[in-house]
Structure formats: C-alpha cells, structure tokens
Amino acid sequence: MTPWLILAIVGLFVGYLIFGWLMTSKCPKCKTRKLKVTGKSFDNPKDYDPGLFSRDVHWDEIYHYQCSHCGYEKDDVYSSFWSWRRSQND
C-alpha cells in the first residue's frame, strides 16, 4: 500500500509541473512552446501592518518571458492572495 501511495503523490506532483509548463510555455505570437523565463522582479510594495516596528511588506512578483523562436517578450504579474487583500482595503 505504501509504494502505491508514494507513487500517487509523486505522480500528482509531476502532473502539476507538466500542467504548469503547458500553461506558461506557449508563445502567443508564433504558437510554439518555446517561451522561457528570463528573469523575475518585484514591484508594488504594500505594508499591511503600518505599525511602528512592522515589516509586513508584500511585493508583486513579475516573471519575464522571452520566446527562443521568435523573440517575443511578455511579463506576468503574480500577486496571489495579496491582490485580493489590496482590493478589500482600498
């Protein structure tokens, strides 16, 4: 039973990685799967606890992609839960 459980967990993890790759690697310009991550940066800092000694600052992660086939570049902004929280506090 234990080997099947381990195999199922590993299989779900590998399936998750493959699904993520399929969703992020397709170039919208040339329709190939050659979009590669070229960098990551941070933007839009927000302090959610404005107290005197607080350091509860969260940033948006911006992933930079470039197609190795046609040279197309794009950016994806990932702010996860914090984008929802920003909209609730504004």
Lowest model confidence (mean pLDDT) among 2-6, 22-26, 82-86: 82-86
Report pLDDT for 53. Answer: 76
Of residues 9 and 89, more confidence is placed in 9
Is residue 66 a part of any domain in this protein?
yes
Q: How far apart are CA 73 and CA 62, in angstroms?
A: 13
Is residue 74 a part of any domain in this protein?
yes
Q: Is the pLDDT of residue 90 over 60?
A: no
The alpha-carbon radius of gyration of the chain (Å, integer) is 19
| Tally of structural domains, the chain | 1
Reduce the DSSP state of residue 70 to 3 states and report it.
Answer: coil
Q: Is the pLDDT of residue 48 over 90?
A: no
Residue 74 belongs to domain spanning:
27-44+58-89
Is residue 34 a part of any domain in this protein?
yes
Q: How far apart are CA 64 and CA 2, in angstroms?
A: 41
Q: Is the pLDDT of residue 73 over 90?
A: yes
Is residue 50 a part of any domain in this protein?
no
